[in-house]
């Protein structure tokens, strides 16, 4: 929300500084994990609406009373909760996907404990409400018109705009879910190296975590339909950012990119003003039609860059956006994979050596192919499986080098076990679900709700 205390933007340097001030020394690097999951009623496997005594609004109220977290409002409706001590936050995606944005933590051990405690807390209230959660990349059975919308004003702006600029934007909003991790950088040069490595390897993460093979009650022809959705959402604000690999890449170049992405909204006095399709450059000149003569604040700029959705997004940290929603183990495996690659110097160097000679065309081909063929996607003289195996090995070495042990003496590499299993069997989570669908489930898609409910598995 744009507050009066946020300074007006008077120079381009403020746009750059909104990103560069994220730079911090290594001892202050943290891990912020976000995970979304679908909410459903055990009776009939229906999506959970906001309203009602067993609705999402009621669940948020129970959690507020239990935790003492501060409610976040959109009009009269509570649409999220925030830890007043600066920890995590709970928010809602458009179709009721329930998201924990985790606290900034030092180790994957802490991240995994956080996820477990979150699911245990939810279970305390969702069991009596007959609600469960599903950790998967796309809603497997619900049609778009069956999914109740959450009462968030920004989504009322985004939905009609999405319908104009892409073919699957509303599916992104209402029928997709992800696990993401936010990671720090030390300097502009460190940011550039990490951004390049993580952009190049994002399709590899998509393949390893592919977990959305169903839609509308049947197989959809993809292994990561969620990733396919993003290819057909909004080309202005998505993609692989090829400019990041050009000479001269830095914070200022990302600012140029962000300025060219059309706006969604501006917030004034707690109200969302629809500016969909307008130019932030025009806003800088006081020429935004919705606020004639008014110039943006730094908070307006930060709101705007939060509406960009490339495969890796920069704010005051780097956000890894390539993975499907996952069961509990995947919540821990995703940050482990990226922390191992990016938070140890030797591992980061090895990861860069792995990808540094890839071309723009190769990176884009990987991005477009892995939603369908995942680990079996051809690449040079092998497949994505071969690259994934190397990337996981580099990540493991990086995690071991960090030397963070739990009470049993295990380091953070223990959280790569789900990826080891995927590589051992040569099948993604999506392919294993398809095996169940055509085998044990006898093509009864509802078995996914009874057999794969997230809060049963933690």
Q: Is residue 436 part of a domain?
A: yes
CA 345 to each of CA 54, 137, 190, 316, 340: distance values in angstroms, whole numbers, following the listed order: 49, 32, 10, 20, 10
Could you give the number of structural domains in the chain? 1
Residue 433: CB atoms within 10 Å: 26
Q: Is the per-residue pLDDT at 250 higher than 60?
A: yes
Q: Is residue 303 part of a domain?
A: yes
Q: Rounded to whole angstroms, how far apart are CA atoms 454 and 458?
A: 7
List pLDDT tens digits, range 121-171.
999 999 999 999 999 999 999 999 999 999 999 999 999 999 999 999 999
The overall pTM is greater than 0.95: yes
The DSSP letter of residue 261 is: S
Domain containing residue 141: CATH number: 3.30.590.20
Q: Is the per-residue pLDDT at 455 higher than 80?
A: no
Q: Is the per-residue pLDDT at 10 higher than 80?
A: yes
pLDDT mean over 42-69: 98
Q: Is the per-residue pLDDT at 457 higher than 70?
A: no
Q: Rounded to whole angstroms, how far apart are CA atoms 385 and 392?
A: 10
Phi first, then psi, for residue 432 (nearest 5°) are -70, -35
For residues 128 and 42, is the Cβ–Cβ distance under 8 A?
no
pLDDT for residue 226: 98
Q: Is residue 16 part of a domain?
A: yes
Q: Which of 136, 172, 201 is nearest to 352 (CA)?
A: 201
Alpha helices per DSSP H over 38-182 = 56-67, 108-129, 153-165, 169-175
Q: Is residue 2 part of a domain?
A: no
pLDDT for residue 220: 98
pLDDT for residue 429: 98
Token couple for 391: 């990337």
pLDDT for residue 454: 80
Q: Is residue 3 part of a domain?
A: no
Q: Is residue 5 part of a domain?
A: no
Angle at the Cα of 4 (from 34 to 267), degrees rounded to 5? 50
Instruction: Name the residue range of residue 123's domain.
Output: 12-457
Token couple for 242: 């090829």
Q: Rounded to whole angstroms, how far apart are CA atoms 16 and 164?
A: 31
Q: Is residue 7 part of a domain?
A: no
pLDDT mean over 380-403: 98
pLDDT category of residue 287 using cuts at 50, 70 and 90: very high
Tell me the percentage of the chain whose pLDDT exceeds 90: 97
Token couple for 396: 């493991």
pLDDT category of residue 328 using cuts at 50, 70 and 90: confident
| Bridge partners of residue 268, in order along the sequence | 271
Helix H or strand E encompassing 420: helix 417-425
pLDDT for residue 1: 40
Q: Is the per-residue pLDDT at 193 higher than 90?
A: yes
DSSP assignments along 326-381, one per residue: --HHHHHHHHHHHHHHHSSHHHHHHHHHHHTT--HHHHHHHHHHHHHHGGG-EETT
User: How many residues are present in the chain?
Assistant: 458
């Amino acid at each position: 929300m744009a507050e009066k205390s946020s300074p007006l933007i008077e120079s381009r340097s403020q746009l750059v500084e909104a990103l560069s001030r994220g730079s911090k020394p290594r001892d202050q690097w943290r891990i912020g994990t976000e995970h979304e999951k679908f909410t459903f009623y055990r009776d009939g496997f229906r999506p959970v609406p906001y309203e009602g005594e067993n609705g999402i609004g009621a669940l948020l109220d129970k959690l507020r009373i239990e935790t003492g977290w501060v409610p976040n409002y959109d009009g009269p409706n509570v649409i999220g909760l925030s830890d007043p001590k600066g920890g995590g936050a709970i928010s809602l995606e458009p179709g009721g996907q329930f998201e924990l944005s985790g606290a900034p933590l030092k180790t994957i051990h802490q991240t995994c404990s956080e996820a477990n405690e979150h699911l245990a807390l939810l279970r305390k209230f969702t069991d009596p409400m007959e609600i469960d959660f599903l950790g998967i990349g796309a809603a497997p059975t619900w049609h778009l018109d069956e999914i109740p919308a959450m009462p968030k004003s920004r989504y009322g702006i985004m939905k009609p705009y999405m319908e104009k600029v892409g073919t699957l934007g509303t599916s992104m909003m209402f029928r997709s879910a992800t696990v993401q991790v936010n990671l720090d950088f030390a300097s502009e040069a460190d940011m550039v190296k990490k951004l390049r490595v993580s952009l190049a390897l994002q399709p590899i993460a998509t393949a390893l975590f592919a977990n959305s093979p169903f839609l509308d009650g049947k197989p959809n022809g993809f292994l990561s339909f969620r990733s396919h959705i993003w290819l057909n959402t909004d080309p202005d604000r998505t993609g692989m950012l090829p400019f990041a690999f050009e000479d001269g890449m830095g914070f200022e170049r990302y600012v140029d990119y962000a300025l060219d992405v059309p706006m969604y909204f501006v917030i004034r006095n707690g109200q969302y003003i629809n500016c969909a399709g307008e130019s932030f450059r025009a806003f800088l000149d006081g020429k935004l039609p919705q606020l004639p003569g008014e110039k943006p604040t730094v908070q307006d700029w930060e709101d705007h860059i939060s509406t960009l959705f490339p495969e890796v997004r920069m704010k005051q940290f780097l956000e890894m956006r390539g993975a499907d929603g996952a069961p509990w183990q995947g919540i821990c495996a995703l940050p482990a994979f990226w922390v191992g690659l990016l938070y140890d110097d030797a591992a980061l160097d090895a990861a860069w050596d792995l990808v540094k000679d890839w071309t723009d065309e190769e990176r884009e081909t990987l991005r477009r192919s892995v939603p369908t063929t995942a680990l079996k996607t051809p690449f040079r003289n092998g497949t994505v499986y071969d690259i994934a195996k190397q990337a996981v090995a580099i990540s493991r070495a990086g995690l071991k080098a960090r030397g963070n042990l739990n009470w049993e003496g295990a380091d953070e590499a223990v959280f790569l076990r789900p990826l080891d299993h995927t590589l051992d069997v040569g099948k993604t989570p999506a392919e294993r679900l398809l095996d169940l669908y055509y085998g044990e489930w006898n093509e009864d898609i509802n078995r996914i709700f009874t057999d794969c409910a997230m809060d049963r598995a933690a």
